[in-house]
Amino acid sequence: MNLEEYHGVWVFIEEQENTIAPVSLELLGAGRQLADKRGVELAGVIIGSQVTTLASTVFEYGADVVYVYDQPIFKDYRTESYMKALLHCCETYKPEIILFGATSTGKDLASAVATDLPTGLTADTTELDVEEDTGLLLASRPAFGGNIMATILCKKYRPQMATVRPKVMKALEKEPGRTGKLIEEQINIKEDDIRTKVLEIVRATTKKVRIDEADIVVAGGKGLGSAEGFQLIHRLAETLGGAVGASRDVVEAGWIEHHHQVGQTGVTVTPKIYFAIGISGAIQHLVGMKNATMIIAINKDPDAPIFEACHYGIVGDAFEIIPLLVEQFSRAIAKEEVNHVGEV
């Protein structure tokens, strides 16, 4: 393999119903830095049906080039069809780095493509850097259940691939009117070539506050004692208009569903305020919330590790503190609203 033939940093652009996934925009931000350090182009790859119009957004968030595979067969995400398009693109244009969001789609596609190429793939990356002269990607990630951080390299194969956790990288400010080179490609692929069919897509109808998008997350842990005790977390979250988060032990105990789990095997959140209540602060939990702007911890054990990871700590009993918080906040918020009405 002649490594010199491979140039440029690519981001796989994940799209759903004509909206680009936030993680893809974050990766364009991260990819821009890598590309600038290397002095190479940043490209986005879009695969889908009626998706060419999305290219303008990809340029506005930092791409120099956009490759588009816009064919009806790509209407639904399917590993086999998307993989064929991406492999075609790799063979034709030979990138040195490809980044994917570590989402179900991104991980699925990246694993298949890496096997076929073949090349190395680093999963769930949280830090990215590149060696200026060699183009070697330094992809770092938590490993062994978050007990260590490891930097993974892929020296002898190209492209170098990584899936990257959502909410860890930063998207650039949108630059309206910024454009680049649009390259439209097609592959020859028939429905009969694909062995899977999407029969139905069922979207969750209840539009709850999404925990990964919330400004305030109130998270509770095993310290709440029981499913009933955990209701206090819901009450505080409601008062503040925030989303409910949980530690893994709470999810395992069945007090709340898995999609509320924050941490390494749950979601990563970056709210403005994160309450960690009755949560010990295991490293696997911390990796999922440590980038919150303000972390407030409440725990009755003064030695709980969470106090080393918070901005403000209260040593106390959740059953005493939460009701006080609910009461005080309700009062303060009511007052605020009155003020607003007064201003109008």
Partner 1 sequence: MLHIIACIKQVPDTKIIKMNPKTNTMDRASAPAILNPYDAHAVEEAVRIKKKYGGIVSVLTMGPPPAVKAIKKCIEIGADEGYMISDRRFAGADTLATSYALTKALDKIQKSRPVDLILCGKMTIDGDTGQVGPGIARRLDIPPLTSVKKVESVHQEEGHIIVHRKIEDGHEVIQSTLPCLLSVEKEINEVPYSSFPNMIKAARYDPVIWSVDDLEDVDIKQLGLKGSPTIVAKVWAPPKPEGGKMLEGSPHDQVDQILSVILEKKELFQAKGGS
Ligand X SMILES: Cc1cc2nc3c(=O)[nH]c(=O)nc-3n(C[C@H](O)[C@H](O)[C@H](O)COP(=O)(O)OP(=O)(O)OC[C@H]3O[C@@H](n4cnc5c(N)ncnc54)[C@H](O)[C@@H]3O)c2cc1C
When CB distances are held under 5 to 8 angstroms depending on the partner's kind, the choice from ligand X, partner 1, none that residue 93 binds is none
Q: Write out the DSSP string of 68-106.
A: EEE-GGGSS--HHHHHHHHHHHHHHH--SEEEEESSHHH
Residue 103 CB, nearest approach to ligand X (Å): 16
Could you say whether residue 233 binds ligand X (CB under 6 A)? no
- Report the length, in residues, of the chain: 344
Could you say whether residue 8 binds ligand X (CB under 6 A)? no
Quick one: which of 304, 309, 310, 325 contacts ligand X (CB under 6 A)? 304
When CB distances are held under 5 to 8 angstroms depending on the partner's kind, the choice from partner 1, ligand X, none that residue 261 binds is ligand X
Q: What is the pattern of x (binds ligand X, CB under 6 A) and - over residues 175-214?
A: ----------------------------------------
Other CB atoms within 10 Å distance of the CB of residue 96: 24
Round to whole Å and give the CA distance between 153 and 131: 11
Nearer to partner 1, 227 or 324 (CB): 324
Q: Which of residues 190-229 bind partner 1 (CB under 8 A)?
A: 195-204, 215-216
Q: How far is CA 295 from CA 198, 208, 259, in A?
A: 42, 22, 21
Nearer to partner 1, 227 or 294 (CB): 294
Q: Do 139 and 122 form a contact (C-beta atoms < 8 A)? A: yes
Q: Do 278 and 296 form a contact (C-beta atoms < 8 A)? A: no
**Sequence-separated (6 or more) residues with CB below 8 Å from residue 309:** 281, 286, 290, 295, 297
Q: 30 phi and psi, to 5 degrees? A: -65, -40
Q: Which of residues 63-122 bind partner 1 (CB under 8 A)?
A: 76, 79-80, 103-105, 107-108, 110-112, 114-116, 118-122
Quick one: which of 175, 317, 336, 337 contacts ligand X (CB under 6 A)? 317
The DSSP output letter for 262 is B
Span interacting with partner 1, options 39-47, 61-69, 142-150, 228-236, rule CB under 8 A: 142-150
Residue 192 CB, nearest approach to ligand X (Å): 41
When CB distances are held under 5 to 8 angstroms depending on the partner's kind, the choice from ligand X, partner 1, none that residue 319 binds is ligand X
Round to whole Å and give the CA distance between 178 and 63: 9
Nearer to partner 1, 71 or 122 (CB): 122
Nearer to ligand X, 5 or 303 (CB): 303
For partner 1 (CB under 8 A), the number of binding residues is 87
Residue 42 CB, nearest approach to partner 1 (Å): 23
* Burial of 183: CB neighbours in 10 Å, binned 0-12, 13-18, 19+: middle
Peptide bond into 176 cis (omega under 30): no
Could you say whether residue 250 binds ligand X (CB under 6 A)? yes
Give me the residues that bind ligand X (CB under 6 A), please. 145, 221-223, 247-250, 261-266, 278-280, 282, 284-285, 288, 298-301, 304, 317-319
